[in-house]
Amino acid sequence: MNDFQDKLAVVFGGARDIGGAIAIELARRGAQVALSYHGSNPDEVVAAITTHGQKPYTQKVDALDMAAVRAFATSSAEQAGKKIAVLVNVVGGLVARKRMEEMDDAFWDHVMTLNTKSIFAITQAALPLMIDGSAIVNVSSQAGRDGGGAGGIAYAASKGALMSMTRGLAKELGSRRIRVNAVCPGLIATKFHDEFTKPEVRQRVAGMTPLGREGRAEEVANLVVYLASDAASFVNGANVDINGGLLFS
């Protein structure tokens, strides 16, 4: 299972939930992990990674600060003393549920900067530091396909943009054998939904899902790590759904 042995994996947003599960799974498979955090304490994820014999590099990064985002890519490679083999972009958020008439320019720009521009910035900074044959995996959302839930227009638009960015990058970077894919999670049991989704809505959506439940962060992590691995060597430009069968694309 050590398919990432001695490889540097950078997880942009790896302190909790899906990002944390991804960082831990990469470490379990032998990767040297660098992760960013901001509003969440990374100690639990760091402790879990340590049990796999790795000591992760952590850096507090405000995803709205493009200079800080770019610096994280550079410092990760410098601290590891090697180039980046895997970049996983998890950072993103709903920020708040607002209908069209409730949004102002500042809110729209905030969501787009957090969910799309930050991914542009770290990817641009990381590319000169990546080895040929490496992989980028973006975490988009089912909202990017179906428009999201009530008050989620800005979030859905930003995640749809990320899906298109994934396809464009896959074409552009193919000559370097850098594969770019994305995952599009549906209802996953995370703090995101604890904060923004009412329990009765979660129960209803889980009931509509063919598998009859919410997904787990570890299940998303397994898919991300597969896409980053050599086992997915001919998968490029894909936006892969993981939603228990609720939505087919």
User: How far is 248 from 244, CA to CA, in rounded Å?
Assistant: 10
CA Rg value for the chain: 17
Sorted by where each starts, the structural domains of the chain and their CATH numbers stand as 8-187+216-242 (3.40.50.720)
Q: What is the pLDDT along the chain (249 residues), one digit of tens a residue?
A: 678 999 999 999 999 999 999 999 999 999 999 999 999 999 999 999 999 999 999 999 999 999 999 999 999 999 999 999 999 999 999 999 999 999 999 999 999 999 999 999 999 999 999 999 999 999 999 999 999 999 999 999 999 999 999 999 999 999 999 999 999 999 999 888 888 888 999 999 999 999 999 999 999 999 999 999 999 999 999 999 999 999 998
Per the structure block, which two tokens stand in for 134?
A: 């490496």
Q: Is 57 considered catalytic here?
A: no
| Among 37, 57, 155, 226, the one annotated catalytic | 155
Cα separation of 164 and 8, whole Å? Answer: 26
Beta strands in 140-207 (DSSP E): 179-185
Provide the b/e sequence for 109-125 (b: ≥16 CB within 10 Å). ebbbbbbbbbbbbbbeb
Measured distance CA(116)–CA(154) in Å, rounded: 11
